[in-house]
A and B are shown apart, each in its own frame.
Chain A
């Protein structure tokens, strides 16, 4: 039986590593998009963002940073075997993720009101939608992971598996937090 457990530990480690690799490939996706933006925008003076970005982006940034903190608290609660706290902070994180999502949609709304459409002769402006849209897909995936972890915790799965899910989820969640900050700063520099 000892070997079986060792095998289990090895396979959990290997699967956690999968998440790191996924983060890397996902980062490459955004690196490609932002490089595409640079190549495109650098091509002519008529291109570029040319507007002030919606203020709501500041609120969404606040929400997602806060959600990273709650994610961290959930992880530490689980380490201390405090499962009520773990559940509570996971729920907070999910709610903040949904809030972030809503803020982004509001930001799109503001953009549209300002006449900055997705279908646009100045594709630099279309890129704003591509960046935020692709990021929102990641948020959906993140919320899915969070829910899965929460369910595991509620169902009282073995602790090492609970911790495994939590670790994998928090790698991803912190990543999409940092990713948003990267995209936001990138857009701010471009504006």
Chain B
């Protein structure tokens, strides 16, 4: 009856009371092996931030190489030793940097750090539940993620260095331990780490789905859920359906590497020696990988879109434009993302007819994405906008999502892609639409829910500095890459000095590297603000943004079980902002219609005749008052 004890406990709300008898909390159970969803959310967030800083430092290192390919930085040798002999990053290490940067950013920061943090924090709080369906599995999910991070970092301390085959780890490069140094133990560790990561993501996802479907409070039907919850819900579904496919691909790769099978390998000569493997198909990996890989990019962006929807509505003081359209477009993206993976494989010698099919599905998926952007813009349109830090980052997301989405349309064209594939154009596309947009979504969420996470406010001035430097920095870094890509400059090359036609891009590269360094330094403003405010920030009030959703009805001090008494019931959708006839510009979901007679509309009652009659009676009685008010 463990769960009963816990609930009982939650009702009393004495979690600091150490002589309470049956349930003692030690440092270990409270901060380390915690099963409380709010603590797990913080663990995900802080681990995610640490991973983001590390991955960012990696990117600055390879930007140094790209910006100043002939220059020596003796300090690098001090830190990196043999990987930067003479102060210049070695080609092998360059590849490792690019690979681990991509892997960490996509999986550890923007999947675990983003979904993990906000699913854990918001799902129970916004649907009105005491915790997750299985708090234990939830804790396991975090620790598997932690293990994955530790193993991936550990690969930097091996003799031959971390995996170097790119974040998509295509075989044969990844399948042959002798192909490059990084394909040795580093690749093995990459595979182990990713297996642990996938287990974490799956366990987490199962928990999120089950919690949302089974544990909503009274009155919280699906169409009253905030868009954050819809987005996190569909993200989890996408993960549960696609991560197992990555496991299947990885299992076969492990067999090829360690047992000598030939799933992906065929007729390969390494250093003059013919390898025994025959008959395999490297394209098989690409199919399996991208069947996960494409949905994965939406796993990354959908939570960010959900967070933005919420923040834009709150800070425009307007109902979100087209709530239903927002939900249906998320569903549309979820469904369609299963049938577009081939657009990453246009140049694999795929049948042109098949290429055409993937081209059409790819262009169709742009439609729900466009619906979302138009709805954001329409929500902002003539809103009573408050430029809080979170709001700025939300608007930043919309900007990146548009500018990066447009280039997707070009890439999705199977003919144009022959030229653009594997160039910097692709790098520009996905760093804007996924990288920058999702990071902005995540930062937006951090600024918005910081009072809920830590009970304190972040400093606004530093936040504005952070926003403008990062926003400008991201465009300055990624926009020039479009032009390089159009000129045919390939991605993942170590130096541009060896090829005549690329030389003219050296100056641009130097400029981009400067922009990257400045943008990286700007993150110090965030880090200082974040960690300083945890301890010294201004104390937060229970509902600092005057928002409608349930999490703002909980006390600032965290309790097990979230609400001190009964879980509140929900009566209305979450977007009643600036409703005409109501004295305040927001009405919380917990406010029944009987308390807001002056602002109720007939369609609020969803066809409930009795309620409509009562409302009409009331209006007849108060006709005079109503007309003077308006």
Most buried by A among B205, B240, B252: B252
Of A17, A39, A40, A44, which is within 8 A of B213 by CB?
A17
A1 to B259, CA, bound (A): 57
Q: Is A183 an interface residue (CB 8 A)?
A: no
Q: Is A156 an interface residue (CB 8 A)?
A: no
Of B205, B244, B259, which is within 8 A of A119 by CB?
B259
Q: Is A178 an interface residue (CB 8 A)?
A: no
Nearest chain A CB to B455's CB is how many angstroms away?
26
Q: Is A33 an interface residue (CB 8 A)?
A: yes
Q: Is A140 an interface residue (CB 8 A)?
A: no
Nearest chain A CB to B200's CB is how many angstroms away?
13
Q: Are B240 and A32 interface neighbours, CB within 8 A?
A: no
Find residues 192-245 in chain B having any chain A CB closer than 8 Å to their own CB.
202, 205-207, 209-211, 213-215, 240-245
Find residues 519-566 in chain B having any chain A CB closer than 8 Å to their own CB.
566
A39 to B244, CA, bound (A): 17
| A5: nearest chain-B partner, CB-CB | B4
Q: Is A130 an interface residue (CB 8 A)?
A: yes
Interface segment, one of B61-69, B275-283, B583-591? B275-283
Nearest chain A CB to B9's CB is how many angstroms away?
10
Find residues 109-147 in chain A having any chain B CB closer than 8 Å to their own CB.
118-123, 126, 130, 134
Of A11, A36, A40, A47, which is within 8 A of B133 by CB?
A11
Q: Is B429 an interface residue (CB 8 A)?
A: no
A22-B206, A120-B261, A122-B279 known; A130+B251 contact, CB < 8 A:
yes
**How would residues 1 to 45 of chain A score, 1 for a CB under 8 Å from any chain B CB and 0 otherwise?**
001110110110111011001101110111111011001100110
Q: Is A82 an interface residue (CB 8 A)?
A: no
Is the contact region of chain B dominated by helix, strand, or loop, or is it mixed?
helix
Nearest chain A CB to B409's CB is how many angstroms away?
28
Find residues 261-293 in chain B having any chain A CB closer than 8 Å to their own CB.
261-263, 277-281, 283-284, 287-288, 291
A29 to B278, CA, bound (A): 25
| B247: nearest chain-A partner, CB-CB | A29
Q: Which residues of A contact B210 (CB under 8 A)?
A: 14-15, 17-18, 21
Nearest chain B CB to A98's CB is how many angstroms away?
25
Q: Is B7 an interface residue (CB 8 A)?
A: yes
Q: Are A4 and B8 interface neighbours, CB within 8 A?
A: yes
Q: Is B134 an interface residue (CB 8 A)?
A: yes
Q: Are B262 and A130 interface neighbours, CB within 8 A?
A: no
Q: Are B7 and A7 interface neighbours, CB within 8 A?
A: yes
| A11: nearest chain-B partner, CB-CB | B3
| A122: nearest chain-B partner, CB-CB | B279
Q: Which residues of A contact B245 (CB under 8 A)?
A: 28-29, 31-32
Nearest chain A CB to B37's CB is how many angstroms away?
13
Q: Which residues of A contact B249 (CB under 8 A)?
A: 32, 36
Q: Which residues of B contact A40 (CB under 8 A)?
A: 263, 281, 284
Q: Which residues of A contact B279 (CB under 8 A)?
A: 44, 46-47, 121-123
Q: Is B260 an interface residue (CB 8 A)?
A: yes
| B561: nearest chain-A partner, CB-CB | A7
Q: Which residues of A contact B252 (CB under 8 A)?
A: 36, 130
Q: Are B280 and A123 interface neighbours, CB within 8 A?
A: yes
Q: Are A39 and B206 interface neighbours, CB within 8 A?
A: no
A39 to B202, CA, bound (A): 26
Of A15, A25, A39, A118, which is within 8 A of B259 by CB?
A118
| B248: nearest chain-A partner, CB-CB | A32
Q: Are B240 and A33 interface neighbours, CB within 8 A?
A: no
The count of chain B contact residues (Cβ–Cβ below 8 Å) is 48
Nearest chain A CB to B276's CB is how many angstroms away?
9
Q: Is B609 an interface residue (CB 8 A)?
A: no
Q: Which residues of B contact A120 (CB under 8 A)?
A: 261-262
Q: Which residues of A contact B262 (CB under 8 A)?
A: 119-121, 123, 126
A119-B260, A119-B261 known; A26+B133 contact, CB < 8 A:
no
Q: Which residues of A contact B209 (CB under 8 A)?
A: 17, 21
A15 to B533, CA, bound (A): 37
| A17: nearest chain-B partner, CB-CB | B210
Nearest chain A CB to B257's CB is how many angstroms away?
12
Q: Is B618 an interface residue (CB 8 A)?
A: no
Find residues 7-22 in chain B having any chain A CB closer than 8 Å to their own CB.
7-8, 11
A32 to B245, CA, bound (A): 5
Q: Which residues of B contact A122 (CB under 8 A)?
A: 279
| B246: nearest chain-A partner, CB-CB | A32
A120-B261, A126-B263, A130-B255 known; A39+B240 contact, CB < 8 A:
no
Nearest chain A CB to B253's CB is how many angstroms away?
11
Q: Which residues of B contact A29 (CB under 8 A)?
A: 244-245, 247-248
A47 to B284, CA, bound (A): 14
A14-B211, A15-B210, A28-B244 known; A126+B7 contact, CB < 8 A:
no
Q: Are A126 and B255 interface neighbours, CB within 8 A?
A: yes
Q: Is B28 an interface residue (CB 8 A)?
A: no
Q: Which residues of B contact A47 (CB under 8 A)?
A: 279
10 shortest A-B CB distances, which residue pairs?
A: A14-B133, A29-B244, A32-B248, A14-B214, A32-B245, A28-B244, A121-B279, A121-B278, A17-B210, A21-B206
21 residue pairs bridging A and B, Cβ less than 8 Å apart: A3-B566, A8-B3, A11-B133, A14-B133, A14-B210, A18-B137, A21-B206, A22-B206, A25-B244, A28-B242, A29-B247, A32-B249, A32-B288, A35-B287, A35-B288, A39-B281, A46-B279, A118-B255, A119-B259, A120-B262, A123-B280
Q: A7-B7, A119-B262 are in contact. List 13 more A-B contacts (CB 8 A).
A: A7-B3, A8-B3, A15-B134, A17-B214, A25-B240, A32-B247, A32-B249, A33-B248, A36-B249, A39-B281, A43-B284, A119-B260, A120-B261
